[in-house]
Amino acid sequence: MELQLDSPIAKPGLRRRTRWYFWGLLFLIPEIVIFFIFLWVPIAKGVAYSFYNVDFVSGNSFVGLQNYSEVLSNPDFYTAIKNTLVYMGLALLIGFWVPIAMAIAVSELKWFQGPARIVGYLPSIIPAIVLYGMWQWFYDPVGPINTFLNFIGLESFDFYSKEHAVFSLIILETWQNFGSATLIYIAGLAAIPRDLYEASELDGAGVWARIRYVTLPSLKNLILLLLVLQVIATSQAFQSQLLMFGGGPDNATLTYLLLTTREAFTYFNFGKASAMGVIMFVVLVLFSILTIKIRKGGEEA
Amino acid sequence: MKMKKSLLISMLVFVIVLAGCASGNKNGDNSPGSASPSASSPVESSSTPEATPSPAIAEPVSIIAYAFPADKTEENATLNAKIKRFEDKNPNVTITPKYWKYENTEIAIKMASNSAQTEFTTWATEANLLSGKKWIIDLTENLANWPYAKDLNEFALAPFVIEGKTYGIPIDAYGMTITINKKLFEQKGVPLPPLDWTWDELIEAAKAVNDPAKGIAGFIPMGKGTEAGWNWTNFLYAAGGEVQTVADGKVTATFNSESGLKALQFYKDLKDANVIPKNWALGYGDALTLFNQGRGAMVMCGSGNALDGAINQGGINKDDVLLYPIPSMTKGGKHTGVAGGNYKVINGLATKEQQKAAFDFVVDEYFTDAYLDSIDAQITSQKAKNQVYVPQLINYWNDSSDYGKKYEEILAKHDNVYQYSPDLSKLMESKPEATYETQAYYGEMANAIQKVFTSKGDLDLQKILDDTAAKLQKSSFDKVKIE
């Protein structure tokens, strides 16, 4: 890249390069301004507010680490962390492989590949408010799922019980989100050279062997990337928890971000909510660094 | 080279962020005031004498009034007419109507961005919270100079009188009631319970009308969000209990008393009798929707609110819904429920001049014929839409006053006005909500209620209540500073 920048026109290199970067920076300014206003300032303010008792009228007062100590002494904080981890884990276990399987299945289809992709993606375009209304009906004791279970002679399933609430949410979330991940995997699959498959077929590999030795290794990086994205997304989950169960029953679906939202918008403790945000931010940054390290390590190996 | 440059850019960005952060903090304190060009924060204006203009000169003042959603054309037209009348009388005041409906989950954002109206409507539940945060102003002085202040209904006013100061002007008030879908009772051939019913009679009625196979619940208590605690408090009150006591500047949780235990046992009995929806996760809207769909025979709500929704939105015939008081624990006992209502409050972030103008605007037509005419017009317009006007049980005036009688005359003129049973008002007793950290209490109680609604087998209800009380005491009540 550097070579291309230094064009053969005879001009003092430093001046030219400075001017080049000046224009580059100029084009970056709108981006910097937008990021500054809508991302960096809120982040910086969030960090600052975590040390304040936020009061719009009388002015903020500095409280040092009080918000942090109150957050850490709240038993719900640990419940929320546990619930979030359980949710993340179950979402990986139940939901993560679905788009991979779906993408492979779709790409193995001889006919109707296009319609299959559309059908898979449809749930992602349903507006949230319709989605939750729909699932409330699906999970209803007299809703379609339980009616079907009763029809085939099984007992009704209580989707709202303390034991099943998280599971119910994961089914809902997987159904809602697997479409977009499937599309990404399908794109990844399309990029795998066909000759690899042809070669493996010549070697006598069946469908399973092709998936095992060609498809999955080729998708490795993509899988890892989507894994990181899913972990980050599920660690910040709160929408379905809030709308379906309000964090209940008895805090069974109280996630970290839901507790943060509750602190901010139910109890109006913005300082405490900011402190929780900062803790989350630090953990996610550490996690990202760790993943980058692991990935780099993997590539070097 | 690349490294160096990116390092340089990163440092530049870092410096910008730091600079923004520093100025942001400074602005952070003042931003609400500086957001509107004419406003400086009230704290500043009171501390700098030159900022306060002489009252003799009528400086131009702009305020924002609490408007209705765009589809409520009748209400908005009434408001616009009221604005015009006020502006004609007060040429220095400019009023812009703006729609934002009060929501307890949105008010913080509205205050942070200083974008709430100068005067807005809120609920009785919000009095302590809003006044505690200084998001609304103390109106005691304004009321002292207003000739009609003494005519306000004291019961309606009560929730907004805090430590001797008045923070809101009532529009209407209510006590909690139970709305019954009479049709479901008739379909099952179940006789209606007596109006002076008890907890046991409620459970019996719920059992009789209950039909889980069809997804019909006998009784729909709210179980999700703070409204779960709000619903349960009715039974705590009916059992004679209190949420908290205040003594020597200290707030102590008392809802884990014997009355609390009885109220929670009642919820357990409802669960054991299988008369509540399996889907316990019902917020205010969810519970009312279920009722409107005919999937529950009884729901608990502020006097006519569930009834209004059932008739005017749910399409249930007005003769098919009935209002009952909160049942008494034992026969002949008190039918005490939580009191609530709608109130006008003045934005604490506005300037003193704006606040004064907003107060004058709010009370401008209180106790005038113009106000009654607007109700008359509303009833007429609802009739045209085939809707029923559901009056509030308690208004800002006293029913026995001349003004109250005039109001009754207007209601009597129309045939699309819901008629409450006269016995209902006699039985109902309404008690204001807890004073301190009410939302935190409701939120914690919601967990306890969910525990009861979703656990199988025996539960140590006293322990659940004690644990909830202890947690709330430590995290909220102990931190209350009473001035």
Query: Is the minimum CB–CB distance between B29 and chain A shorter than 8 Å?
Result: yes
Q: Give residue A127's pLDDT.
A: 85
Asked whether the predicted pLDDT for residue B124 surpasses 90, the reply is no
What's the one-letter identity of residue A33? V
pLDDT tens-place string over residues B342-366: 999 999 999 999 999 999 999 999 9
Question: Residue A10: CB partners within 8 Å, gap ≥ 6?
Answer: none
Would you place residue B387 in the very low, low, confident or very high pLDDT band (cuts 50, 70, 90)? confident
- Taking the Cβ of residue A244 and every Cβ of chain B, the question of whether any pair is shorter than 8 Å is answered with yes
Q: Say if CB B102 and CB B83 are below 8 A apart.
A: no
* Identity of residue B387: Q
At A52, which helix (H) or strand (E)?
strand A52-53
Please, are residues A172 and A143 in contact by the beta-carbon 8 Å criterion? no
What is the structure's pLDDT at B24?
37
Contacting residues of A for B222, CB less than 8 Å apart: none
Mutate to test the interface with A, among B14, B40, B437, B450 (most CBs of A within 10 A): B450
Tokens 């719009």 locate to: A56
Question: Which residues of chain A from 258 to 297 reach within 8 Å of chain B, CB to CB?
Answer: 262, 264-268, 270
Q: Is the pLDDT of residue B435 over 90?
A: no
Q: What is the pTM of this model?
A: 0.81
Residues of chain A short of pLDDT 70, as ranges, are 1-12, 297-301
Q: Which residues pair with A290 in a beta bridge?
A: none
For residue A162, the 8-state DSSP code is T
- The 3-class secondary structure across chain B, one letter per residue, is CHHHHHHHHHHHHHHHHHHHHHHHHHHHHHHHHHHCCCCCCHHHHHHCHHHCCCCCCCCCEEEEEEECCCCCHHHHHHHHHHHHHHHHHCCCEEEEEEECCCCCCCHHHHHHCCCCCCEEEEEHHHHHHHHHCCCECCCHHHHHCCCCHHHCCHHHHHHHEECCEECCEEEEEEEEEEEEEHHHHHHCCCCCCCCCCEHHHHHHHHHHHCEHHHCEECCECCCCCHHHHHHHHHHHHHCCCCCEEEECCEEEECCCCHHHHHHHHHHHHHHHCCCCCCCCCCCHHHHHHHHHCCCECEEEEECCHHHHHHHHCCCCCHHHEEEEECCECCCCCCEEEEEEEEEEEEECCCCHHHHHHHHHHHHCCCCCHHHHHHHHHHHHHHHHCCCCECCCCEECCCCCCHHHHHHHHHHHHCCCECCCCHHHHHHEEEECCCCCCHHHHHHHHHHHHHHHHHCCCCCCHHHHHHHHHHHHHHHCHHHCCCC
Return the pLDDT at B317.
Answer: 86
pLDDT at B439 (0 to 100): 86
- Residue B453, chain A, CB below 8 Å: the answer is yes
- Chain A interface test: which of B13, B346, B439, B454 (most A C-beta within 10 Å): B454
Cα Rg of chain B (Å, integer):
25
CA distance B140 to B148: 13
pLDDT at B27 over 70: no
- Chain A interface test: which of B447, B465, B477 (most A C-beta within 10 Å): B447
- Asked whether the beta carbons of residue A245 and residue B25 sit closer than 8 angstroms, the reply is no
pLDDT of residue B304: 78
B142-154: pLDDT as tens digits: 999 999 998 999 8
Of A2, A40, A140, the CB nearest to B17: A40
pLDDT band at B433 (very low <50, low <70, confident <90, very high): confident
Structure confidence at residue B5 as a pLDDT band (50, 70, 90): low
Segment holding A53, helix H or strand E: strand A52-53
The reply to whether A175 touches chain B by the CB within 8 Å rule is no
pLDDT of residue A37: 93
d(CA A224, CA B1): 32
Closest-CA distance, B432 to chain A, in angstroms, reads 20
User: Environment class of residue B2 by beta-carbon count within 10 Å: exposed (0-12), middle (13-18) or buried (19+)?
Assistant: exposed
Tell whether B406 is within 8 A of chain A (Cβ).
no
Instruction: Flag whether pLDDT at B36 surpasses 50.
Output: no
